[in-house]
Amino acid sequence: MKDEPDTLHERVVGAIKDYIMEHKLREGDRLPGEHRMAELLGVSRTSVREAMATLVALGIVEVQSGRGAFVRDFSLKTFVDQISFRIELFRDDLRELIEIRRLLEVYSLGRIGADMSERDLAALRDVVEKMRVKAAAGQDFIDEDIQFHSILAEAGGSRILKFILEGFWELQRKVRRVTEDLEMLSQRQKEHEDILKALEARDARGAEYFMHKHFDAMSAKISSVADQQNNRI
């Protein structure tokens, strides 16, 4: 049997979540006003107000002044902000996050196998070419990097997996240090190109092999930066 929440506050938060699900509310749908919600739940308006504040902090509800409370499009921003702050405090955690992302990305690639569509391959070719142009000009290509992996996740067909990976990609955007090192940019571009070539050849194992090499290089770079920082202490 499911344990009951310990406090009134937790019960009210849970009840409002249940209301959203039972009424199949979607992003932008308005919740009943504070007074009406208090009547529906049999609690005080203060309890509803406090529960709404928690739901706002969780990114489930958005309160608009003079208009009321609305269901919010779920965002991973809070998760990303918390993790990126932790990484600033504990740099070693980034290595672990890279390994978790490796497992998810390789699994996502495995869902595709040798069945990548020509449309998705064409999209990857376009992204890799943009990477090549930027790398040659000494420009970082974080947007194209994320787009490349997003296309793979989309092709894998798992909406939940893509949603989880989006959090890691946004985290990567926040913690990645922009570089103009031509050799590093060219290497990173080639890592993506190797994955693409394996997919074009319908070589599923080859694609996974090059994905692992991509993450090996990422881990090595993180370790190198960490060692340099430690040597300065």
Fold of 8-71: Arc Repressor Mutant, subunit A (1.10.10)
Token pair, residue 66, equals 């003079």
Number of residues that this document lists for the chain: 233
| Cα 221 versus chain centre, distance | 21
At 167-212, the pLDDT tens digits run: 778 777 766 766 668 888 999 999 999 999 999 999 999 999 999 9
Straight-line distance from the first to the last Cα atom of the chain, in angstroms, rounded to the nearest whole number: 53
Region for residue 85 given its phi and psi (left: phi exceeds 0; alpha: psi -120 to 50; beta: otherwise): alpha
What residues are paired with 62 via a beta bridge? 70
Tell me: pLDDT of 82 over 90: no
Write out the CATH class of domain 77-224: mainly alpha
Tell me: pLDDT of 1 over 70: no
CA distance 117 to 163: 21
Question: Hey, where are the domains in the chain?
Answer: 8-71, 77-224
Spatial CA neighbour of 138 closest among 184, 175, 173: 184
- In this prediction, residue 58 has a pLDDT band, given cuts at 50, 70 and 90, of confident
Q: Does this chain's domain 8-71 share its CATH topology with 77-224?
A: no
